[in-house]
Structure 1
Amino acid sequence: MTIGPDEARRLLERELERSEYDGAHVTWWDRASRAVLEWIGSLRADGLGSPAVAQTLLWTAVVVLVAVVVLVVVARGLPRRRARLADGETGGVFDDDDLRPASAIAEDARAALRAGDWSRAVLDGYRAIARGLGERDLVPDVPGATARAIAGRAARVFPVEATRIEHAAVTFDEVRYLDVAATETAAREVLDTEHAVRTARPAHATTPAVPA
């Protein structure tokens, strides 16, 4: 099916009016999109010469239209994902089939560190913290518990390490849910925190631990 310039412009405007694109500041993507819309709107069959030229330009406009929509989705999607992370909307620390004990997870994290896989070291390093807390009955290892929730519970048991655990949780979320590439420094900090928590004596709790 062939669509005209006016219809192509209308479709793009409708796409950009969807709620997924709300709340963002004007960026160079917005300006580029507007420029494309104006260009498509300027196309008129009576000013394009031969039918062959008109058809070629029309298909070019359609390709540009699709490319702009894809680029807008990519450009707007990541900031919205960051906003969800800022609001604490993340998933669980463990995959459903991850039943490794804390010692095995920690060893996998150290192996990743030696191999230079900093992101894997961060992920397994924090998972070792979480699983270790569960094995010691300090913070219940609840399926679906988020990194921030686990850090909040752990802070009551290890107040001295609370800041480091919270920082490790933030690093975990950034790597897992924002695809941020971890650095060697970040990986070592998470593993150092895992060792500190594993070897520390828990503070006396005045209230019982509750599921994270």
Structure 2
Amino acid sequence: MVNYAYLIGDSITRECVLVDPAYAVDDLVRIAQEDGMTITGVLASHYHPDHVGGSMMGHTIEGVSALLENHHVPIHVNTNEAPWVLRTTGVSESDLCQHSAGDTIMVGNIEVTMVHTPGHTPGSQCFLAHGCLVSGDTLFLEGCGRTDLPGSDPSLMYESLNMLAQLPDSTIVFPGHAYSTPPDMLLSDVKATNYVFKPKTREDWMAWFGGAG
């Protein structure tokens, strides 16, 4: 399981946010600093430790709690995900900036839209900026996030995927894991090749993915 972490930044103002900085936090900070960027926040796609840090399969992942030791920046989460993030990471509620679907933040002059996509977790969210979608564990280039975990809901995943499918075909999808060879792909190609878009009704979807997505 290889995770992706992302940096969304403004090349003019030199401000940036880190997306899902769970592993190698010091390396992510170093990369941002070497590029002359100032980290102004964290975007958390969901609460799982491999995305925000915490305990997982007997291992401790440093994540956002380690980042906040030297960089006191807000962690942007969906309001439905906030309690889960608090339990997983041990950060304080005051460290979180809670959002609803459709909220936006500015990273320099770049507008980032919070796209609430429940299914994998109650408050899973994707991030849309400049025609790019950072899709977390909601949508992979092949497959989607599991729907048999605590807080998962396969019916909501069906709705979330259908909502994402309505974005422009020219949208570039950047997933949360390297489960396929290319690191990113046009949404039009994802819809054409990803098996999660084959079911055309909720009933068909539930028959295929009612247990695990």
Question: TM-score per shorter chain, which class?
Answer: under 0.3
Question: Larger Rg: 1 or 2?
Answer: 1
Which structure has greater helix proportion? 1
Larger RCO: 1 or 2 (CA < 8 Å, sep 6+): 1
TM-score norm. by structure 2 comes to 0.21
